Chain A
Amino acid sequence: MKYLHLVWASLLRSKIRTVLTMLSVMTAFLLFGMLDSVRIAFNSGSEVAGANRMVVSSRLSITQSLPYSLLTQIESLPNVEKVSYASWFGGVFKDNRQFFANFSIGPGYLDLYPEYEMSAEDRARFEADRTGAIVGASLAKRYNLKVGDVIPLQATIFPQKGSNNWPMKLAGIFEIKDEKRKAEENQLMFHWKYFDEANDFLKNRVGWIIVKLDSPDAAMSASKAIDGLSENSDHETRTQTEQAFNQAFAKQFADIGLIVTAIMGAVFFTLMLLTGSTMTQAVRERIPELAVLKTIGFSDRTVMVLVLIESCLIVLIGCCLGMALASAMMPGLSANSGGMIQLPSVPTETWLVGIALSLVIGVAVGLAPALRALRLNIVDALAGR
């Protein structure tokens, strides 16, 4: 620590070079911060807290519905604590075709999702109104919706009495505290009963069933028992944990993880080359100075460590600047992504990975020049050989 001013002085030796290097490190980590946040936003469904929720859906395909009668059968199985259900609606707002999730939910669905936080009044208002709907805070903000507004929802799949209009009254707004799951605030939910009675096609069918188990250990046996109920019928089911269900769905869009890794691989490879050559050059210029340090009594190892710290410091400062910039830009990005990404900032996880990466890169690019400093022979160096 007491040598910090030495490292600092060598960083300031060529200001332009240090600043330019830091800036290029910064852009690399800016990219890393944003891309990794997007990756986490896409995979966040796989880290849902309540692991003892199971999703029962049709084994045939995701668009196939299940009979309502299955519900009572599932309720009577052992280990099953609570059951509710939902049905996909797939509506859009009038004059705006931007996608957001909207579906109808059965009674008790919200009890299974305690993380969707809503005031008691809103909840009571929703339960009391047959055509009431609730939306997440992000969605409400995006379309400037207030409790009491009539939502001009348009059906794309299910008309009612031949018309696509499904007006609903906004009864409540829910919030999700977990930053990684803010994307789920982009949902609209309304009563399944309204959906079932009013739509022209589906009667007594539900899209998927949510089952809460009394213990996560029962997942395997419960999923077997549930799927056994409908075996060899025309509505065979598949029961998965909520994580597995979400993950399988996200994967079908694209392997975001793979794309991010590929791009960041290219970026960091270039970055290492760039900082590596800068460090080599910086040490080469300073050889006489390093020799003087050794002459006045610095050990070989200390000189090597000084060089290593210098390279780590450049990358680390660049990293922190880049990640901070990414954090500052994330809200704007979220607002412009049309609800695809909802992240108020860069998640802690990404920060930690970024800092760890910056240290690894710092050591990797500093190693060769540091070893050169270690092996430096005082006499040769001072003589300029």
Chain B
Amino acid sequence: MKRLKEFLFQLLILILLALLLAGWVKLSAWGAGIVVILLALWLALTRTGRQTVAITHIGLSTLPQRLGISSVIVIGIAGVVGVLVAMLAMSEGFKRTLEPSGSEEAGIILRGGSRVEVNSVITRDQAALISALPGIARDAENRGQVSAEMSQIVTLLNQSDGLESNAQIRGVGEQGWTIRPNIQLTAGRKFEPGKRELVVGEAAQGQFQGLALGSVLELSNQDWTIVGSFKAGNAHDSELWADATTLAAAYNRQSFQSVTVRLAGAEGLAQLKVALDDDPRLKLDVETTRNYYVKQSEGLSNLISVLGTVIGGIMAIGAVFGALNTMYAAVAGRAREIGTMRALGFKGLPVVVAVMLETMLLAAIGGLLGAFLAWLIFNGYSVSTLSENFSQVVFQFHVSPGLLWPGMKWALAIGLIGGSFPAIRAARMQITEALRSV
């Protein structure tokens, strides 16, 4: 009977803990703020609250004596939060590089069924037809603002390890620059149509060898001069730009791969879609460039987030065991002290809350430390990966303040579980036995 009662009690605690945890996961930063304020009010205004403060104070003042074992909680949680924040920062960084590459005001036209530029083909005839379609913005001379583009993948050597990797050369039309107003020339000049000249993105310059201003690159047995560099703050930074017609001639290509257009107002996209559907010669799809790049970033950034959560989750389980171990030891070490307080008339609840508060405090320190370390080591760290376009995209880890919250949430959740069982054990100790223990 006694065993059954004990079992039911433990089960009840487990269920309560699961409920608490589920609530905690749903909680926003604002909700957490309210919880903290309520807790502070309880501590300051009620009698049990003030008892809790007293016990917590005693616990914290003995903390320096248990520095070694307490650091297990701090460092264990710092490890979990560090890895989690770093992975989320990687996913965030990839998104922040790809998504701004597109805009709502520009559309990209690809062959029907193609997801990415490398897979698409648009013939010269089709390109000529497109520029006259409705829905496309016109410039002062009433020409459609379109840029028929080709993308050529070339093999270049990495700066970092000298290995070969894929770079993307984008051949753009005359209007390619005006359709993407956020691209700014940082050095040199734009290429001249008809000449074998390249303008390179700054990220590409950092990634590949031989892209310094003025140097000559051999492509398809011809010499191409690098005459300028640009910065866009997005995926275009990893590209090399050239005149589409010249590039097509160099690679013996008869067709384009995509047409990027400036859309005429809010209705532009819909008009253009209808126009494309109506013309049987144009079996093409159009979408905003924003959409196009969002789709490209989704796969990888989701994969990294999921991976980070799974790895972080497994590490968190390990850290919970570590925290349990530490707090059990702490409670056992302070058995006599806790017994004395209970004998003086302190209630059980303040003991529970005090042990939990101590664990949560250590956990919070660990969480902050982990997030700080992730920021220190990884913020702005440049990496590259193969994009869906089969070429390298350079992006940076982005440790934003927004990532601190999930990190802290994890840290405090670990603290919550790690502190609860030892806290309950402390409160249920037989006073006489506790007083007798060494």
Contacts and interface: CB of A to CB of B under 8 A. Distances in A.
A253 interface: yes
A367 B71 CA distance: 20
Contact of B166 (A97, A252, A263, A269): A252
Nearest to A90: B119
Interface string A129-167: 000000000000000000000000011110100101000
A62 interface: yes
Interface residues of A, number: 47
Interface string B308-343: 000100110111011011101100000000000000
A62 B166 contact: yes
Interface stretch (A45-53, A272-280, A289-297): A272-280
Interface stretch (B126-134, B135-143, B150-158, B345-353): B150-158
A277 B69 contact: yes
Contacts of A236: 221
Nearest to B169: A61
B325 A156 contact: no
Interface in B388-414: 390, 392
A97 B318 CA distance: 37
Interface in A184-241: 201, 232, 234, 236
Given A156-B119, A274-B76, A24 B68 contact: no
Given A62-B153, A263-B83, A24 B325 contact: yes
B386 interface: yes
Interface string A24-38: 101110110001000
A270 B386 contact: no
A28 B318 contact: yes
A271 interface: yes
Given A27-B315, A157-B119, A277 B283 contact: no
A61 B68 contact: no
Given A267-B315, A273-B72, A59 B322 contact: no
A13 interface: no
Interface of A: 16-17, 20-21, 23-24, 26-28, 30-31, 35, 59-63, 90, 97, 154-157, 159, 162, 164, 201, 232, 234, 236, 248, 251-254, 263, 266-267, 269-271, 273-274, 277-278, 280-281
Interface of B: 68-69, 71-72, 75-76, 79, 82-83, 111-115, 118-119, 121, 152-155, 163-166, 219-221, 252, 283, 311, 314-315, 317-319, 321-322, 324-326, 328-329, 383, 385-386, 390, 392
11 contacts: A21-B321, A23-B321, A24-B318, A24-B321, A27-B321, A63-B390, A90-B119, A156-B119, A266-B83, A274-B322, A278-B325
